[in-house]
Amino acid sequence: MSRVQVKHESKWYPLEPEESVLDGLLRQGVAVPNSCRAGACQSCLMRATSGDVPDAARVGLKDTLRTQGYFLACICKPVAGTRLEVSGADALRVPARIDSVASLSSSVLRVRLSTTAPLDYRAGQYVSLLREDGLARSYSLASLPREGLLELHVRRIPGGQMSGWLSEHARAGDAVSVQGPAGSCFYVPGRFEQPLLLAGTGTGLAPLYGIVRDALESGHTGPIWLFHGARTPEGLYLSEALRELASRHSGFNYRPSVLTGGSRDVAEGALDVLIRAECPKPAGFRAFLCGDSDLVLSLRKKLFLSGLSLKDLHADVFLPSTPRAEASGAR
């Protein structure tokens, strides 16, 4: 059976059977930014300049990108015999600089970035952050477009390449770039009296923080519930800012919760139990769920079964970046 050939910067690379374009290029030493390897983060976006790409490799891309030949290298397995010429997605990247790095808690960094040109995004969407050497990770935006600076909440991961670099070495003024935005977990103005339910764990708070402020500034009048869950109180952050926001908006309810170590101000127990207690009949709500995949998928199902319509359920599952060795070993 004939192999797939991929041409990148005037050199041809053969792919093994069943190998993705991303894995094949990485294996042969081509640096391609990548992160989730599951077709979600869009870090590995590439452009086909000639040859056929399967439709499955364009899932989730905007029509404007599809028509220009863009595809996701991590989920692209062209049919045998294909000769595909590709280029990177440099044209979609916006140069940026680190403005500041600060701690929001012992485990979460607040990274602010300034871009050379305004980035057109909705609060709650996510971007890929690219270091100059091509290292890429995707993060949700906690900022609002009007604020100018992009704000990311980065969880410090032991041994994490990007979070380690950001917390130890990155300095204000360092050049990076940003690609995106992506994702459809954001507030759309309208139905202003509809109750909103926002729930997330860990840095899943970042997009929710953007969405809740976007809704309030857009004039949402219905009740808004924000549930932020963590294992212990140390995993919560921005609590003061959110309590202050709740004191200014009577319809906004902030409910932090932990699995152990609750207190007068912080509920203790499973997030879904707390949500059921506070919002027993969520039919007719609009919901936004962000963070750990197991929690998000199970909450989505529970909310759907309790009457929320699928069109009102917006979920953004956070996928871990996958080290290359593990990814090829698993396949």
Backbone angles phi, psi at 324, to 5 degrees: -60, -45
> Please, what is the minimum distance in Å from the beta carbon of residue 310 to another protein?
6
Q: Would you count residue 305 as binding another protein (CB under 8 A)?
A: yes
> Please, what is the minimum distance in Å from the beta carbon of residue 37 to another protein?
17
- The sheet that has 11-15: what strands, in order across it? 11-15, 4-8, 83-87, 45-50, 70-72
> Please, what is the minimum distance in Å from the beta carbon of residue 289 to another protein?
12
- Cα–Cα distances (Å) from 301 to 41, 120, 203, 311, in that order, read 23, 32, 21, 13
In the list 1, 102, 117, 310, the residue contacting another protein (rule: CB under 8 A) is 310
Within a 13 Å sphere around the CA of 261, how many CA atoms are in the beta-carbon half? 10
Q: What angle do CA 64, 148, 225 make, to 5 degrees?
A: 85
Strand partners, 12: 7
How many binding residues for another protein (CB under 8 A)? 8
110 neighbors 99 (Cβ within 8 angstroms): no
Q: Would you count residue 293 as binding another protein (CB under 8 A)?
A: no
> Please, what is the minimum distance in Å from the beta carbon of residue 216 to another protein?
28
- CA distance linking residue 114 with residue 331, whole number of Å: 39
- CA distance linking residue 12 with residue 217, whole number of Å: 52
Torsion, Cα of 282, 283, 286, 290 (10° steps):
50
Strand partners, 292: 318
- CA distance linking residue 139 with residue 316, whole number of Å: 11
- CA distance linking residue 104 with residue 102, whole number of Å: 6
Nearer to another protein, 305 or 330 (CB): 305
Q: Would you count residue 301 as binding another protein (CB under 8 A)?
A: yes
Judge if the upstream peptide bond of residue 181 is cis by omega within 30 degrees of 0. Answer: yes
- Segment near another protein (CB under 8 A), from 153-161, 246-254, 260-268, 302-310? 302-310
- Segment near another protein (CB under 8 A), from 74-82, 83-91, 183-191, 306-314? 306-314
- Segment near another protein (CB under 8 A), from 37-45, 146-154, 260-268, 303-311? 303-311
In the list 182, 300, 316, 318, the residue contacting another protein (rule: CB under 8 A) is 300
- Segment near another protein (CB under 8 A), from 35-43, 225-233, 296-304, 318-326? 296-304
- Segment near another protein (CB under 8 A), from 70-78, 106-114, 119-127, 305-313? 305-313
> Please, what is the minimum distance in Å from the beta carbon of residue 309 to another protein?
6
Q: What does DSSP assign to residue 141? A: B
Site for another protein in 94-153 (CB under 8 A): none
Nearer to another protein, 228 or 300 (CB): 300
Q: Supply the Cα-derived Rg of the chain in whole angstroms.
A: 21
> Please, what is the minimum distance in Å from the beta carbon of residue 301 to another protein?
7
> Please, what is the minimum distance in Å from the beta carbon of residue 306 to another protein?
9
> Please, what is the minimum distance in Å from the beta carbon of residue 305 to another protein?
6
Nearer to another protein, 221 or 309 (CB): 309
* Paired tokens of 52: 């056929």
Query: End-to-end distance of the chain based on CA atoms, in angstroms?
Result: 20
Nearer to another protein, 83 or 302 (CB): 302
- Segment near another protein (CB under 8 A), from 146-154, 166-174, 229-237, 294-302? 294-302
Q: What residue ranges bind another protein (CB under 8 A)?
A: 297, 300-301, 304-305, 307, 309-310
